[in-house]
Chain A
């Protein structure tokens, strides 16, 4: 019953090992401006209201957490969306789709995308697109306009 193990001095090692590294200054430091100072350029991200593709590109930033859009870029959490408008649902090469999307039979027209983005889970129950609902219609239209512009 009695183990022959010695005292656990590893505990002390754990305590003593958590020492800091030596002071190390930056190799490179690029100072753009000071905090609180106004940016030199006009605020970026305020799109021209008359250009839905530009507005859509800004709005797409939220989608970009999961979707790449550059031609040939690897899929992430979601499939690459380059050329998505007009292609069959579940057809981006190399992406593992939910069965729901694969079997949906949808071709991603702008209209189909509109109803999908308005409520993904209602349009394709079982889709693994957890985020991505865009309830604002003009915003949706802008994102779709941007997606439609992504063609080879």
Chain B
């Protein structure tokens, strides 16, 4: 069950603490290696060789190295997809270690089971269970370790890296290393450890005037006892945490040297390239292929009918795509009767009708919603809907594979390297141990790269060719044939009492994925609630989209709250504040955003302001959008954002994520729509699947409230949810036109 630590032994090999399972060792050249192991007794040879670049030393799972040049390398198990996780996790480790930031490097942890991110799994699986009694903690830890391994849970998602791996792993590793370095120096200098100070990767003893870089004691530190529970810094002692330490990944991203999955090259091999075309409707297959013209085209090496997709392998990707375009094919008939977007929404509507006032599956029941509704002085109702969305990361899906001799090597951008490894192994019918993953930087993830469909396709092509091949999806393929944010419909009825308070809240919608509480607004003091889900079939396959269910639920909920305010004849800000009596942090965030926007002043003629408040992934965010309607079409001119993530480990990085979430959310609100015709996706490229451009981007101001240091929220996703409702509410303020269906641009065509 749970892994209880063995008594500490003094040896070069691993020693374990009860909570952190920390071990240490020395790599070739005197490099100190600190690991926080998932379980004691990990085989050390393989992993040591992975992190030591083949020098093959003893240790286990490892999170930091200190080499002879005093360079600290943080080994980060999460992927870098733009959210800044690599850098900020290193920053947290470096702070506890008192390292000089300019001497810190980041290494992507290899795809190995030892790097499952147990705390992230715990966050995904057990939302709401934190705060379990202490005696349960070891059981939880053991459970989540097992779940993590079972599910190949080396994942990056859920805006979780800082608050899980950062807080519970990287800081502990840094603090433990610091303590061991101090111990080694104290022994060598013959002074009490308590008299030694650390700063800037240097150990100092003031009384004797001695000082030394960490590197000098790196090897000796490995001989020190592992601290059982290394003391972590209190916020007042932070030196790097809470500062705008510059990101380590940025220099390579301005000179073309940053390497993404699509940039993979198989050294020493002739590269070949594959273009692919899946059957157009989900679930359909290739019935007939005519490749007679394609065969004769320049550069073509192979043409494959894989059953569910076509592939052309050629000397160049461009030649492969040209030849693929020349292939004509017929496909099997779709099984689903959903042919158009209208069909899809009709399914939703029917499910909601059938569920009625009390049907469907109950998600939240609070007080007596039915009774309160019956006694309400005034009732309101509204239906909202959102379309399917494509993630559209700018790096299209791609993977490079080399399948040979029962083994497979893969280079790809992924949020789930271990799942990708297992999926490829399964598709090739080989062991996961025979699959080597390389997972460099991601050119955007947004949840799309939590899926491994494209890795499986590449593996199958690679198996057919037997030589290295880089599969790249065209933008059209990426827009049409992947997985999608679900379309959804949500129906509300609300009851106001005689004083205009929202006392009854009845909501039913059709799609529920993650997070579990995304459909609620628990911070508002609404005494009687019934929230239910009436499930309805989706035509297109689902993938988590940035902020997942919050991406649609925030639009539904905060639009409805605005309608309730209007029905009550109250200012939207005042109406919300009146419901936040028990949620002081939410109240502070909402007031801050309103103050930033100058809510109490009148906007210029033709303009309106809208406000929305959400909590997602542990971070409370309020946004005010100002919209200019003077041209007849909405143009967002300003977004003011106040956010309380508990504590922002890197405020500038946090702001960058809020800005990005806002732009992503504006794209979805204004333009985002994947629609269906004959069962297939209609959109293809950025001319008909529009993204917000520079000339449409509003001025964005972000302020951070560090409201609760001990409970951190995420950064990657929470900026997105409030922006769509705030924009729709702003349009209402400017025009009295209520937007109940996204995208907004369709209402002003």
Chain A residues at the B interface, C-beta cutoff of 8 Å: 1-12, 14-16, 18-36, 39, 41, 43-45, 61, 77
Contacts of B365 in A (CB 8 A): 4
Q: How far is the CB of B150 from chain A (nearest CB, A)?
A: 8
Q: How far is the CB of A136 from chain B (nearest CB, A)?
A: 20
Question: Given known contacts A26-B460, A30-B304, A35-B301, what 14 new A-B pairs fall within 8 Å (CB)?
Answer: A3-B364, A5-B516, A11-B124, A14-B544, A15-B153, A18-B416, A18-B419, A19-B426, A20-B426, A23-B429, A24-B307, A27-B305, A28-B305, A39-B299
Q: How far is the CB of B349 from chain A (nearest CB, A)?
A: 24
Cβ B422 vs Cβ A33 within 8 A: no
Which B501-557 residues sit within 8 Å CB-CB of chain A?
A: 512-517, 520, 522-523, 525, 544
B467 is an interface residue with CB less than 8 A from chain A: yes
Closest partner residue, chain B, to A9 (CB atom)? B125
Cβ B151 vs Cβ A15 within 8 A: yes
Cβ B289 vs Cβ A28 within 8 A: yes
CA A12 to CA B127, docked complex, whole Å: 11
30 pairs, CB–CB < 8 Å, chain A vs chain B: A1-B582, A5-B517, A5-B520, A7-B125, A7-B129, A8-B128, A12-B147, A15-B153, A18-B416, A19-B422, A20-B423, A20-B427, A20-B452, A20-B456, A21-B456, A23-B426, A23-B428, A23-B429, A24-B306, A24-B427, A24-B460, A26-B306, A27-B306, A28-B289, A28-B305, A29-B302, A30-B295, A35-B301, A44-B298, A45-B298
B641 is an interface residue with CB less than 8 A from chain A: no
Contacts of A8 in B (CB 8 A): 124-128, 514-517
Contacts of B152 in A (CB 8 A): 15
Decide: A20 near B147, CB < 8 A? Known: A4-B366, A5-B364, A30-B302. Answer: no
Cβ B304 vs Cβ A7 within 8 A: no
Contacts of A20 in B (CB 8 A): 422-427, 452, 456
CA A14 to CA B120, docked complex, whole Å: 13
Cβ A14 vs Cβ B516 within 8 A: no
Contacts of B520 in A (CB 8 A): 3, 5
CA A24 to CA B429, docked complex, whole Å: 10
Ranked 8 nearest A-B pairs via Cβ: A8-B516, A20-B423, A11-B124, A20-B426, A28-B305, A15-B151, A30-B303, A44-B298
CA A29 to CA B290, docked complex, whole Å: 12
Chain B residues at the A interface, C-beta cutoff of 8 Å: 121, 124-129, 147, 150-153, 155, 270, 272, 286, 289, 291, 295-308, 315, 322, 363-366, 416, 419, 422-429, 450-452, 456, 460, 463-464, 467, 512-517, 520, 522-523, 525, 544, 582, 685, 687
Decide: A7 near B127, CB < 8 A? Known: A2-B522, A20-B425, A35-B467. Answer: yes
Decide: A36 near B451, CB < 8 A? Known: A1-B582, A4-B364, A11-B124. Answer: no
Contacts of B423 in A (CB 8 A): 18-20
Contacts of A30 in B (CB 8 A): 291, 295, 302-304
CA A44 to CA B272, docked complex, whole Å: 19
Contacts of A15 in B (CB 8 A): 121, 124-125, 147, 151-153, 155, 419
Contacts of A18 in B (CB 8 A): 416, 419, 423, 450-452
Cβ B147 vs Cβ A3 within 8 A: no
Cβ B124 vs Cβ A14 within 8 A: yes
Decide: A31 near B460, CB < 8 A? Known: A5-B517, A24-B307, A26-B306. Answer: no
Contacts of A14 in B (CB 8 A): 124, 450, 513-514, 544
CA A65 to CA B29, docked complex, whole Å: 55
Closest partner residue, chain A, to B318 (CB atom)? A61
List the count of A-B residue pairs having beta carbons below 8 Å apart.
151
CA A11 to CA B525, docked complex, whole Å: 28
Cβ B419 vs Cβ A12 within 8 A: no
Q: How far is the CB of B462 from chain A (nearest CB, A)?
A: 12
Decide: A36 near B270, CB < 8 A? Known: A5-B364, A10-B513, A16-B151. Answer: yes
Contacts of B515 in A (CB 8 A): 8, 11
Contacts of A27 in B (CB 8 A): 286, 305-307
Point out the residue from B272, B363, B419, B464 that lies within 8 Å of A29, measured CB to CB.
B464
Q: How far is the CB of B179 from chain A (nearest CB, A)?
A: 34
Q: How far is the CB of B688 from chain A (nearest CB, A)?
A: 9
Contacts of B302 in A (CB 8 A): 29-32
Q: How far is the CB of A80 from chain B (nearest CB, A)?
A: 16
Decide: A5 near B305, CB < 8 A? Known: A11-B514, A23-B429, A39-B299. Answer: no
Q: How far is the CB of A32 from chain B (nearest CB, A)?
A: 5
CA A7 to CA B124, docked complex, whole Å: 10
Closest partner residue, chain A, to B271 (CB atom)? A35
CA A85 to CA B426, docked complex, whole Å: 56
Cβ A43 vs Cβ B516 within 8 A: no
Cβ B364 vs Cβ A12 within 8 A: no
CA A39 to CA B315, docked complex, whole Å: 10
Closest partner residue, chain A, to B155 (CB atom)? A15
Decide: A26 near B687, CB < 8 A? Known: A14-B514, A21-B456. Answer: no
Cβ A32 vs Cβ B366 within 8 A: no
Contacts of A10 in B (CB 8 A): 512-514, 516
Decide: A7 near B307, CB < 8 A? Known: A18-B451, A32-B300, A33-B301. Answer: no
Cβ A77 vs Cβ B153 within 8 A: no
Q: How far is the CB of B641 from chain A (nearest CB, A)?
A: 25
Q: How far is the CB of A72 from chain B (nearest CB, A)?
A: 17
Among B127, B308, B525, which residue has the most Cβ atoms of chain A within 10 A? B127
CA A89 to CA B124, docked complex, whole Å: 57
Closest partner residue, chain A, to B129 (CB atom)? A7
Cβ B304 vs Cβ A5 within 8 A: no
CA A32 to CA B293, docked complex, whole Å: 12
CA A26 to CA B423, docked complex, whole Å: 18
Contacts of B460 in A (CB 8 A): 23-24, 26
Contacts of A2 in B (CB 8 A): 522
Contacts of A61 in B (CB 8 A): 322
Contacts of B308 in A (CB 8 A): 24
Contacts of B516 in A (CB 8 A): 5-8, 10-11
Cβ A21 vs Cβ B305 within 8 A: no
Closest partner residue, chain B, to A33 (CB atom)? B301
Closest partner residue, chain A, to B688 (CB atom)? A77
CA A24 to CA B309, docked complex, whole Å: 11
CA A27 to CA B364, docked complex, whole Å: 49
Decide: A23 near B155, CB < 8 A? Known: A7-B516, A33-B301, A39-B298. Answer: no
Decide: A34 near B301, CB < 8 A? Known: A2-B522, A10-B516, A18-B419. Answer: yes
Q: How far is the CB of B217 from chain A (nearest CB, A)?
A: 41
Q: How far is the CB of A48 from chain B (nearest CB, A)?
A: 16
Contacts of A25 in B (CB 8 A): 463-464
Cβ A32 vs Cβ B303 within 8 A: yes
CA A1 to CA B467, docked complex, whole Å: 59
CA A146 to CA B606, docked complex, whole Å: 51
CA A33 to CA B425, docked complex, whole Å: 27
Among A5, A6, A41, A61, which residue has the most Cβ atoms of chain B within 10 A? A5
CA A108 to CA B125, docked complex, whole Å: 64
Q: How far is the CB of B624 from chain A (nearest CB, A)?
A: 25
